[in-house]
Amino acid sequence: MCEISKMDLNVTTPASSLEVPLHQTGQYGVKETMKSAEGLSGVKSTLVAAHPLEASEALVRKNRDQVDFTMLRNVQGMHAPLRLQMERHIAGKVQRLPCLHSSNVALDTLRGQDEHIDFNHVLNDPTAPEVMGDPHIMIERRAGILQ
Amino acid sequence: MNELFHLPTKRSNMATVNSAYAEPSLGGFSFENCKRNAYMETKGIKMPTARKTGTTIAGIIFKDGVILGADTRATEDTIVADKNCSKIHYIAPNIYCCGAGTAADTEMTTQMISSNLELHRLSTGREGRVCTANRMLKQFLFRYQGYISAALVLGGVDYTGPHLYTVHPHGSTDKLPYVSMGSGSLAAMATFEDRFKPDMELEEAKKLVRDAIAAGIFNDLGSGSNVDLCVITKGKVDYIRPHEIANEKGVRQGNYKYKRGTTAVLTKSVRSLPIDIETTVTGEAMDTS
């Protein structure tokens, strides 16, 4: 078989596909942005935090409680935080089924959050979520019988 | 996709199952798009700029209470976004707060603290104290480590007397008799340092704050338009908006028209042009059917 070069056939290749390594060219011969390793879906992007506040915001409540309970333990003894945590644990058990949001009235009152408005009541309010999971799957997962 | 009617079987694939399960969220700020935004910025796509209140805000304590002053310009980079925005926000009937920095941040922060203070006041049954508002603001801003860019001048009168605080975006506060914040703060502070005296009278104090804000308006690009004042005394709040319209739009300082007689007239001749006016009525009669 004789070799037919691209010049003979008058085929033009887009310039971008000539610069992109072969493993990154997608269906149309150009770089696939969404699948590239350096950009949105690389492994590194999952390791590094998106925003410095993301980590600290997840721990705000836990840290505040820890400081309060340590102080309470030092002042009043071990029994005080134990009693309070027991009450919270019991109040936290009163929940609706997984796909619906629970009001957590008792828990909020014990935490002192019933008279406090924060950004989690204004932005991305969990009482009115955009997506709802499938109730069957969520209950099966909660019961541990998900297949 | 109608996931509500999807019955999971032993052979259902994990993708469908995972997409049907929603994690319960705590709410609050969502950082989903941060990675995408950072990636886009490395590729050279410019993010939209936030509207800031590059500002002059100031406050003083005078004999009977507190006077807060602010200019009224909101900027988006180098464009004036709002020529008459209100920078003195309500916190409580006896406490007001001026805000500099990102306009949305100052607005949301002051509203959040105002709501919390109202709940606190209903719970305790007493009029709120300025130091309570200060403590709430300070703890709120420190939690977000300066990412909420709100620099505030907080002033009010409670049963202990008049108080004036300044709150910085990272959460530090100062309690002072006269303060200024914003891009025009140096101009305003220069005026205060020159002419402030403790226990001034109302009119003298209003003039001093007006002059400080005017110094910021005329010497700083980020501040402009009018001067707003808020006079808080025991039991009474006087929200003067605008106190003075320092820059009127469309009013020119000089006039370039020449007076009659500037140029001497040498000769004058009047010629009347012969004009024949012919009137012809064209068109149809009005159709009234």
**Per-residue model confidence as pLDDT tens digits over B201-256:** 999 999 999 999 999 999 999 898 899 999 999 999 999 988 888 888 888 878 88
Given phi > 0 = left and psi -120 to 50 = alpha, else beta, which region is B160? alpha
| A104 vs B8: CA distance, rounded Å | 30
- Predicted pLDDT of residue B159: 95
- Mean pLDDT throughout A64-91? 96
The residues, any chain, with a CB within 8 Å of residue A8's CB and separated by 6 or more, are none
By C-alpha distance, which of B82, B31, B98 is closest to B239? B98
Separation in Å, CA of B182 to nearest CA in chain A: 25
B112 pLDDT band, cuts 50/70/90, is very high
Look at residue B228 and give its three-state secondary structure: strand
Q: Does B287 touch chain A (CB under 8 A)?
A: no
pLDDT at residue B11 greater than cutoff 60: no
A79 pLDDT band, cuts 50/70/90, is very high
B6 vs A45, A53, A134: nearest CB: A134
pLDDT at residue B14 greater than cutoff 50: no
B24 pLDDT band, cuts 50/70/90, is low
Inter-chain touch A117–B26, beta carbons under 8 Å: no
Annotated catalytic residues of B are 55
Supply the pTM of this predicted model.
Answer: 0.76
Choose, out of A35, A40, A41, A53, the residue to mutate when testing the contact with B (most B CBs < 10 Å). A53
| B214 vs B187: CA distance, rounded Å | 9
Inter-chain touch B27–A120, beta carbons under 8 Å: yes
| B16 vs A146: CA distance, rounded Å | 13
Cross-strand partners of B152:
B99, B167
pLDDT at residue A137 greater than cutoff 90: no
The residues, any chain, with a CB within 8 Å of residue B55's CB and separated by 6 or more, are B70, B71, B73, B87, B100, B101, B181, B182, B183, B184, B216, B222, B223
A131 pLDDT band, cuts 50/70/90, is confident
